[in-house]
Amino acid sequence: MKMKGAQILLECLKQEGVEVIFGFPGGAVIDIYHELPKYPIKHFLVRHEQAAVHAADGYARATGKVGVVLVTSGPGATNTVTGIATAYMDSIPIVVFTGQVPRLLIGNDAFQEVDIVGITRPCTKHNYLVKDPEKLPQIIKEAFYIARSGRPGPVLVDLPKDIMASEIEAEYPKSVSLRSYNPHYEPNLKQVKKAVDLILEAKRPLIFAGGGVIASSGNKELTWLARTLQIPVTATLMGLGAFPGNDPLWLGMLGMHGTYVANMAINHADVVIAAGVRFDDRVTGRLDSFAPSAKIIHIDIDPTSIRKNVRVDIPIVADCKEALLALKEEISKRIKDKDLSERYQSWRDKLNAWNDAHPLTYKKSDEVIKPQFVIETLYELTGGDAIITTEVGQNQMWAAQHFKYLRPRTLLSSGGLGTMGYGFPAAIGAQVAFPDKTVIDIAGDGSIQMNIQELATAVWYNLPVKIIILNNSYLGMVRQWQELFYNRNYSATHLEYNPDFVKLAQAYGAEGYRATKPSEVKDVLKQALKSKKTCVVDMVVEKEENVYPMVPAGASLSEMLLV
């Protein structure tokens, strides 16, 4: 086919099955925008390019498909960087198309020229500057393939304007093969056998699930393993939803704000089955006292994750689902039809005792709204049937602790980068993917202001996202650290001049609600959940509430500060 570069791009996207693009136009991509309305691809115009990337990321996390972004050169491109880094840290498949100045001007400090390929090299899985028009289709094909395969991640493609504007002869390739990139999915069966030996000999086993289980859709296999052998389960923030949060075997999240029982479990376990995790410092605490008596089986598709932070006894480099499936087959062969429900009973009794001694809790109040109470009420009202996104800070941790995630892809949160401003645009992306589902952004009063302009986007496209602001008039998580470790020196964390969020919502054409007393919480949430419109709920909560348990940074997981 011979067409303009812009048409080739869109034709390729169509053939790739892209239905939705999040973007923002500008001079360098005007040729693409000129053609876009002729294609069966829905474009969502955001109000800031960072939000376009978070929205594509939220779309990708909610669906498992690749999210797509289109922005202009220069500032359009640089505005995407935070979003790209967010997706990179959490291994989310997105493809970002940036406009670039015409090839002849590259390197001349042309108007709105920036070396976005150079800037994003360390925070993309791979990136391209298209220099040769004939390679355009192949690069697009590779970009999608690389983004979604292996350990997923963001890929950026920089498109010089002259290539978009000129006629090119090109075909979209049917398949890709890259000699230097062959992700490895199948587990080594010897390693699987060794792992099963270890699991069946264990006295105090623990399953520890991460985002890799969700990315690979291995949650069913993981759940089978846990339930068949009656092994308790914990997870990272990224792994919430990989195992039902209402199952008796569920211990809660691990790590800095993990539950007492989960942290004690990893401290005492003799075998840890770590699936799709990367042992981030927020999860391990002090490394030399992490899982001190455990043999560790580590499943991950990325070889660099293995032995990066912790010692591993049985590494299995493979897709989590494939590896868990292989474990299942091997275990089934060995246990036949034995009833294993009594297995590890004394270990589970011990865990139950720990949990009874220090359950996840908070000081309740009739006078002032406790943020944890808001989350509990949300769970009660939705029955867990919602997609929750979060901002970053205390709101994020309370959302992780007090909502029960029953299915994968129901919690979308910036885990690795911890990006304030992520939650709302991610909710927009999720709502675009699932117009009929309840999508809720659990927000902080600080974070929400980082992408609040997207109210215009949500209202314009009739996206009934619910923003629940846990409004404590503080950058609460930083204030908590200041309170606990910096002598209560609340330097630059008091948000004394927050806007009136209800009026702000109304100004954008959204609905605004406010609750100031615990008795109002349920009603206000009910109204918002019932509404078919974009809603902002200003929950005026306890100002100096802290997130507990807390393992101070650098301490070992057993050194928890409790309520």
Among 7, 22, 44, 49, the one annotated catalytic: 49
Which residue, 436, 408, 439, is CA-closest to 425? 439
* 126 near other proteins (CB under 8 A): yes
Q: Which is nearer to other proteins, 172 or 181 (CB)?
A: 181
Could you confirm whether 112 is annotated as catalytic? yes
The CA-based angle 406-280-325, given to 5 degrees, is 50
Q: Which of residues 355-414 bind ligand TPP (CB under 6 A)?
A: 391-395
Name which position in 98, 149, 219, 419 contacts ligand TPP (CB under 6 A).
419
- Contact call for residues 143 and 130 (beta carbons, < 8 A): no
Q: Mark residues 92-131: x for contact with ligand TPP by CB under 6 A, - for none.
A: ----------------------------------------
Question: Using CB atoms within 10 A of its CB, is residue 357 exposed (0-12), middle (13-18) or buried (19+)?
Answer: exposed
Q: Which of residues 250-309 bind other proteins (CB under 8 A)?
A: 302-304, 307-308
Q: Mark residues 433-472: x for contact with ligand TPP by CB under 6 A, - for none.
A: -----------xxxx----------------------x-x
Kindly state the greatest CA–CA separation across the chain: 72
Among 89, 253, 450, 477, the one annotated catalytic: 477
* 176 near other proteins (CB under 8 A): no
- DSSP summary character for residue 368: S
Could you confirm whether 264 is annotated as catalytic? no
Could you confirm whether 256 is annotated as catalytic? no
Could you confirm whether 477 is annotated as catalytic? yes
* 122 near other proteins (CB under 8 A): yes
Q: How far is the CB of 473 from Mg ion (least distance, A)?
A: 7
Question: Using CB atoms within 10 A of its CB, is residue 530 exposed (0-12), middle (13-18) or buried (19+)?
Answer: exposed
**What Cα–Cα distance (Å) separates residue 265 from each residue in 102, 269, 414?**
58, 6, 25
User: Count of H helices and E strands in the chain?
Assistant: 22, 20
- Tracing tokens 């089986």 back to the chain, one arrives at 297
Binding segment toward other proteins, per CB under 8 A, in 178-186, 205-213, 438-446, 511-519 = 178-186
Name which position in 146, 233, 256, 399 contacts other proteins (CB under 8 A).
146
Name which position in 39, 172, 181, 490 contacts other proteins (CB under 8 A).
181
* 107 near other proteins (CB under 8 A): no
Among 161, 295, 321, 404, the one annotated catalytic: 161
Q: How far is the CB of 245 from ligand TPP (least distance, A)?
A: 21
The CA-based angle 357-359-362, given to 5 degrees, is 120
Q: Which residues bind Mg ion (CB under 5 A)?
A: 444-446, 472, 474, 476
- Contact call for residues 93 and 125 (beta carbons, < 8 A): no
- Give the chain's length: 563
* 148 near other proteins (CB under 8 A): no
Any bridge partners for residue 466, and if so which?
440, 535
- Contact call for residues 445 and 512 (beta carbons, < 8 A): no
Amino acid letter for position 344: Y
Name which position in 1, 104, 178, 553 contacts other proteins (CB under 8 A).
178
For the chain, report the end-to-end CA distance as a whole number of angstroms: 66
Tokens describing residue 7: 């048409």
Among 112, 350, 434, 522, the one annotated catalytic: 112
Q: Which is nearer to other proteins, 42 or 308 (CB)?
A: 308
The C-alpha torsion from 21 through 26 and 32 to 34, rounded to 10°, is 110
Amino acid letter for position 456: A
In the complex, which residues of this chain contact other proteins (CB under 8 A)? 117-118, 121-122, 125-126, 129, 131, 146, 178-181, 302-304, 307-308
In the complex, which residues of this chain contact ligand TPP (CB under 6 A)? 391-395, 418-420, 444-447, 470, 472, 474-478
The catalytic residues are 49, 111-112, 161, 477
